[in-house]
Amino acid sequence: MAVLFAYFSVVLIWATTPLAIQWSSDSLSFMAAVVARMAIALAIALLLHGLLRKSLSTYWQHARIYFAASIGIFPNMPVVYWGVQFIPSGLVAVIFAMSPFVTGLITLLLLKQNPFTLKKVMALVLALIGLIVIFYHQLQFNSRSVYGIASILLSCVLFSFSSVWVKKLTQQETVNLDAFHQASGALIFSLPGLVLSWWLIDGAIPHNVSVKSGASIIYLSIMGSLVGAALFFYILQRLSATVVSLITLMTPVLAIIIGKHLADEALSSQTLIGVAIVLFALLLYLPWSIRGWIVAVNAWLLRKLAEPPLVEGNTNAQQELQKIKEYIIRFK
């Protein structure tokens, strides 16, 4: 139950971050917004370390794991922040939907595990079609779109590679690092690269920060880079990297639902059809089968039939129950 709660919490947080990322660049350059977000998140993490009197030595003992986790922040985050300037959010969501495929390929290469079955591939393709149906009106291409599409595709590779590499290293070193340490370690190892990139690309200290940018950066620092990252590493320890990557399919759908209820956005029939396709695809991806459902129903019926009848001494009722029981056994 805790894993399920953490999983859907990450889905909820990731569904709200695209809009917050756009708002954070309202009065800041994309690099300044990234560095400010991660610096605030790391400051809060180190403050919590001090209050809880936790040692920082563990970050050097398992440096490879934290370095692998940091790839999901640097260079991944600057790539995302830069790319969203050129393409609409709907196209970003469709491209990110490729993450399960990329994660599966990297899992095959690094972990030597094949996560693909015909049923799962069909489910992923169907989910991708559903997202295309939802965001069809946003799939506009021009000369600038090439930069955005290439950057988001690169982000998919970086995100998937980081997730699978963390999974591989934790299995090799047989360590069970808590999720908060993994989130903090990723921030520590990624911040130097972020600061250096900001200095080379931008280097200007912002003087006028709008309320929209400031509030978005604080939200992203706490919920996106600390709470969301900690929950992400928590579920990554307990689920396969491919299952975790399915979050990228759920977040656009949840973002649409949030927009409908909070912003009273209208939902077209095309959007509803696309959402239904994605939800059906996710249901198809789950490890269930018709035979499994039949076996489960039969087992439940057998348990019920094994219970003593409510009216004792009724031989006719007992005979009928025995006939039904024999029929179910033969059918099974």
What stretches of 97-210 show up as alpha helix (H) in DSSP? 99-110, 118-134, 145-172, 179-201
Instruction: Specify the pLDDT at position 318.
Output: 60
| Amino acid at position 229, single letter | A
Burial code (b: 16+ CB inside 10 Å, e: under 16) for 140-179 equals: eeeeeeeebbebbbebbbbbbbbbbbbbbbbeeeeeebeb
**Residue-wise DSSP of 261-322:** HHS-----HHHHHHHHHHHHHHHHHSS--HHHHHHHHHHHHHHHHHSPPSSTT-HHHHHHHH
Instruction: Specify the pLDDT at position 45.
Output: 92
Instruction: Specify the pLDDT at position 316.
Output: 58
pLDDT in tens, 91-126: 787 788 888 888 888 998 888 888 888 888 888 889
pLDDT in tens, 24-75: 888 888 899 999 999 999 999 999 888 877 777 777 888 899 999 999 999 9
More confident residue, 306 or 220: 220
**Confidence bin at 308 (pLDDT 50/70/90):** low
Q: Do 197 and 87 form a contact (C-beta atoms < 8 A)?
A: no
pTM of the model: 0.76
Check the CA dihedral 298-299-301-302 and report its sign: positive
Instruction: Specify the pLDDT at position 15.
Output: 82
Inform me whether the pLDDT recorded for 309 exceeds 60. Answer: no
Could you tell me which residues come within 8 angstroms of residue 331 by beta carbon, excluding any fewer than 6 positions away? 298
